[in-house]
Structure 1
């Protein structure tokens, strides 16, 4: 299969509420990679449209998009480029959150099966994508679930979305889970009933073991608090749509 020309430059898009929020380590990693071209920082609101607006200002065939709170390893670009072929539309990597409770849960789950190899979530916070695909993208009016929506667009356009195993990408801020999150996942069908049941079952059962890793009895309750909010939103949207 035809591989990406590794000599071509790649523009970078960083959507943010404020340039001051961008992790310095992210900017350093980008500036230290000679294949990265210009950095496009976009403050368009809502954030669901910021990536699109940033890509409109880009000029390269492929664009790298990062959340402003990401940290990437020096080999990030080389790793994703190695996965590109003629059928590929986007390549992302598994990322971990800089949060004690989530890290403990991740370690518990990993003891049962290789999460890094099986995690196929889109991971829009660190992704290399064909610019033309972004230009044809119609983002949702909300930020929640945008990654699922974008992957669907890529696949419906006839390309593959690839999610690589963990290579060192870290999400420095904890993802906010609230009632609205559950509502949007139900409304835009990001989860079906089976996926919801699987998520809640895993968090309840495996979350019970997290104190063995974190040495804190409060860890599972921190996780379950998010799940209660998520389920409340899901049920609220279900009732609303009936």
Structure 2
């Protein structure tokens, strides 16, 4: 394998031109050989002047930057366009709100060269911005994993993949019209074919997290809504991270069914109007919600308690885990209900 393999870096973007400018400038400032990588920007139908900015950036580095534009179809479709036109044997991915250090390409290609096919990394909140509790929690979530050598999934805001992997696994699922879940679904397919997902602490980027809780909860809701879509793509049993993924999902479905059933019964029989009914509905909701959360997060809570962070942050991060999961559950329930209504 050559010392410096050719790399194609794909950056999907949508209506974030100011962040995109910083992102591309950081990619142009790499220690990696200048003739060994290209930057592919795919504009997903932006309306904020992104097209003009991209032309300006291309004028600064005409031999380095390629650009493509499509109607708003989502990041999965945008990345697929980039992959189809990429020349590199290695393909790197970042989002338009990511700033990479100048050794990012060097680090990523070095790790991939060591017989690793898929490598993801960590994200830190930009140093020039003042963090708050929510952004610190974002750092924690970006960097959180129990097993760096076999992660359950990796995120496309900091990812390197050997081109040959896409030839076997396929491209991103364009059924996902918005961000949230399309990378997880692709990772599930990769794991199904025997690929291990490695997460390296050496591969770091600066990632803009939402500063406000409401934004994080909207993202959690969207991820929950996409869970049904993800699992509809993975139909047979296969082992992931030491557990049978389909079995774990069946437990979650049973818990969600219990939550829906308790709400339905309370409304149908007007139980909410009586004290006994209120106790009944609350007990059922609490029971099935706890089943869902414990199945989903009990190992995470144990892991959080072992981390070298203050008790204050352990408590707050655990609480935010639960709140985000509740919104994720809500997103799944609403998507299930919507699906039944359409039928």
TM-score (ref. length: structure 1): 0.73
Report the equivalent of 1:75. 103
Report the equivalent of 1:93. 121
> How do 1:58-69 and structure 2 match up within 5 A?
58-69=86-97
For residues 231 and 117 of structure 1, what CA distance do their matches in structure 2 show?
23
For the pair 1:41 / 2:41, whether they are aligned, the reply is yes
Report the equivalent of 2:221. 179
For residues 162 and 151 of structure 1, what CA distance do their matches in structure 2 show?
11
8 A contact 1:13–1:64 mirrored in 2 = yes
Change (3 A) 1:172 1:8: same
Instruction: Give the stretch that moved more between structures: 56-65 or 177-186.
Output: 177-186
For the pair 1:139 / 2:177, whether they are aligned, the reply is no
Report the equivalent of 1:150. 186
For residue 167 of structure 1, report the CA deviation from its aligned partner.
4.3
For residues 38 and 62 of structure 1, what CA distance do their matches in structure 2 show?
11
For the pair 1:228 / 2:326, whether they are aligned, the reply is yes
Q: Please tell me the root mean square deviation across aligned C-alpha atoms, in Å.
A: 4.0
For residue 90 of structure 1, report the CA deviation from its aligned partner.
1.8
Rg: which structure is higher? 2
> How do 1:189-208 and structure 2 match up within 5 A?
189=231, 192=249, 193=251, 197=294, 199=296
Report the equivalent of 2:206. 170
For residue 225 of structure 1, report the CA deviation from its aligned partner.
4.6
Report the structure, 1 or 2, having the larger strand content. Answer: 1
Gaps of 5+ in 2: 45-72, 211-215, 232-244, 253-291
Report the equivalent of 1:129. 161
For residue 158 of structure 1, report the CA deviation from its aligned partner.
4.8
Instruction: Determine helix, strand or coil for the equivalent of 2:219.
Output: coil
For residues 135 and 321 of structure 2, what CA distance do their matches in structure 1 show?
11
For residue 75 of structure 1, report the CA deviation from its aligned partner.
2.3
Gaps of 5+ in 1: none
Report the structure, 1 or 2, having the larger helix content. Answer: 2
Report the equivalent of 2:147. 118
For residue 42 of structure 1, report the CA deviation from its aligned partner.
0.3
Change (3 A) 1:118 1:40: same
For residue 127 of structure 1, report the CA deviation from its aligned partner.
1.0
The structure, 1 or 2, with the larger RCO (C-alpha pairs under 8 Å, 6+ apart) is 1
Size of the aligned set, in residue pairs, is 232
> How do 1:14-53 and structure 2 match up within 5 A?
14-18=11-15, 20-33=17-30, 34-35=32-33, 36-44=36-44, 45-53=73-81
Change (3 A) 1:149 1:25: same
Cα-to-partner distance string for 1:175-212 (whole Å, 9 max, x where unaligned): 65243321212442387347853555557x969x9893
